[in-house]
Amino acid sequence: MPSIPVRVMLTDLWDEFRLDLPSETPLSQVKQQVLDLGRLSADAAKYEVKYRGAQLSDETRSLADLGVVKNAALIMLPRRRQPVK
């Protein structure tokens, strides 16, 4: 099974996580892994992932099925935006 290196920007921390994952990894597992690496105890379901500006909505699909290429940049952000004070 080939691997796909990706970079995931977690906007809660403004930090980027570099992962090298099997191409069959489901998006839901990517989200949970990023939250774990960022040491956040938040619910992964409350986050969305964007790739090339589009939201990846089917989290059961694998990175390969979603068309994620090697060294892709993903953005992970809360589904509900926080108001600016």
Looking at 3.40.50.300, 3.30.70.870, 3.40.1160.10, 3.10.20.90, the CATH number of the domain 3-78 comes to 3.10.20.90
Residue 22 amino acid letter: P
Measured CA distances, 22 to 40, 54, 56, 77 (Å): 23, 22, 18, 23
In contact, 11 and 79? CB cutoff 8 Å: no
Q: What is the pLDDT of residue 80?
A: 79
Q: What is the pLDDT of residues 31-75, one digit of tens each?
A: 999 999 999 999 999 999 999 999 998 999 999 999 999 999 999
